[in-house]
Amino acid sequence: MKRCCNGPSQPEDQAPCCCSASSPSNHAESTGDSWILTYTNTPIGKVPVVSTRLTPLDHFGTAAVRLGFKRMNYAIEPGLYAVGNPHPDSPVLVSANYKLSFDHLRQELEGIDAWILVLDTKGVNVWCAAGKGTFGTDEIVHGVQATGLEKVIVHRTLIVPQLGAPGVAAHKVKAQSGFSVVFGPVRAVDIPTFLKTGMRATPEMRRVNFDLVDRLAVVPVELVQGIRYGWLPALALFLLAGINRHAFDSALMLAHGSKAVLMLLLSIVCGGLLTPALLPWLPGRAFAVKGMVAGAIPAFGIILAGWIPTGTIGGKLDASSWLLIVPALSSFVAMNYSGASTFTSLSGVLKEMRYAIPLQIAVASVGLALWIAARFFQ
pLDDT in tens, 305-350: 999 999 999 999 999 999 999 999 999 999 988 766 666 666 667 7
Alpha helices, DSSP H, located in 148-286: 170-177, 191-196, 203-206, 212-216, 219-240, 250-269, 275-277
Give, as one character, the DSSP assignment of residue 76.
-
pTM, two decimal places: 0.79
CA dist 296 and 305 (Å) reads 14
Rounded Cα distance between 254 and 261, Å, is 10
Identify whether the C-beta of residue 364 lies closer than 8 Å to the C-beta of residue 324. Answer: yes
Angle 335-340-341 from CA coordinates, rounded to 5°: 90
Closest CA to 176 of 151, 132, 139, 135: 139
Which tens digits make up the pLDDT trace of 106-138?
A: 999 999 999 999 999 999 989 888 878 889 999
**How far is residue 309 from each of residues 30, 256, 261, 323, 354, measured CA to CA in Å?**
63, 11, 17, 13, 36
Name the class of domain 23-208: alpha beta
pLDDT in tens, the chain (378 residues): 333 332 222 333 333 333 333 344 334 343 458 899 999 999 999 999 999 999 999 999 988 888 888 777 899 999 999 999 999 999 999 999 999 999 999 999 999 999 999 999 999 989 888 878 889 999 999 999 999 999 999 999 999 999 999 889 999 999 999 999 999 999 999 999 999 999 999 999 998 888 888 888 889 988 998 999 999 999 999 999 999 888 888 999 999 999 999 999 999 999 999 999 999 999 988 899 999 999 999 999 999 999 999 999 999 999 999 999 999 999 999 998 876 666 666 666 778 889 999 999 999 999 999 999 999 987
CATH code 3.40.50.11600 region(s) in the chain: 23-208
Half-sphere CA count of 160, side-chain side, radius 13 A: 30
d(CA 363, CA 299): 15
